[in-house]
Amino acid sequence: MSAPVVLLPDAGPLITLAYADALDLLFKPGWPVVLVDMVLHEVTRNQTPTSEKLAQWADANQLSVRTTKTFQHHQRTLAAGTVATRKSNLGELAVQETMNDFALEQPPQTGVFLFEDHRIARASFFVPDNCRKISTRAFLLFLEHKGWLESAAEIELRAIQAGRSFSRLRFPSE
């Protein structure tokens, strides 16, 4: 028996969908949505146009939050008042940690890493065999293709009109 697919959104897709008032699209495939603790921290730690909306959405939907060593290390560094040697891409590092953990489970958990950062599309980001990575744009097109969303382009446009600087990079490239 195989484990169910779990959707692991990074900060970028969460922010874009929050701008578009479309966070609930993450539930359309019927997969559990799991937030990685570091990603949740990244999208709620500062006052932004979407931080409160994201915190309320996660709470209202009682989303599971996956604990990572990455976030624990980050918290210890903050508590100690020491300068962090690494500040950027901690959310992606925590998602990578989670996917690696999934690969070690029996049966291996299937994770779908939803990303938006074009650097991840081009980077040598390790994705175990039991996991996948998909861009926000490709995810929206997947929903449209399945008939669960009328227009992927409309969601993109709503996010942009609300003030989101949405990546123009298409992955995979057209």
Q: What is the pLDDT of residues 104-136, one digit of tens each?
A: 888 888 899 998 865 555 555 677 787 888 889
Q: Say which DSSP state 164 is in.
A: -
Neighbours of 138 (CB within 10 A): 17
Task: Look at residues 11, 15, 9 and name the one whose alpha carbon lies nearest to residue 159.
Answer: 15
Residue 34 bridge partners (DSSP): 64
Half-sphere exposure of residue 132: CA atoms within 13 angstroms, side-chain side: 10
Please, which residues have CB within 8 angstroms of residue 30's CB and are 6 or more apart in sequence? none
Using omega within 30 degrees of 0 as the cis cutoff, is the peptide bond preceding 172 cis?
A: yes
- Selection from 74-78, 91-95, 118-122, 163-167 with the highest mean pLDDT: 91-95
Q: What is the pLDDT of residues 36-50, one digit of tens each?
A: 999 999 999 989 999
> Which pLDDT value is given to residue 4?
77
Instruction: Kindly state the percentage of the chain with pLDDT values over 90.
Output: 52
Q: Does this model's pTM top 0.85?
A: yes
Phi–psi pair at 6, nearest 5 degrees? -120, 130
Interval 51-68 mean pLDDT: 95
Give the pLDDT score at 50. Answer: 93
Strand duo 131-135 + 110-115: pairing: parallel
Find all residues with CB under 8 Å of 162, minimum gap 6, and list them.
Answer: 19, 20, 21, 49
What pLDDT sits at residue 124? 56
* Mean residue pLDDT across the chain: 86
Residue 6's H or E segment, with its range, is strand 5-9
Q: How many CB atoms lie within 10 A of CB 114?
A: 23
Q: Can you tell me the mean pLDDT for 71-78?
A: 86
Fold of 5-161: Rossmann fold (3.40.50)
User: What pLDDT band is residue 3 in, cutting at 50, 70 and 90?
Assistant: low
Mean pLDDT of 80-97: 77
More confident residue, 85 or 152: 152
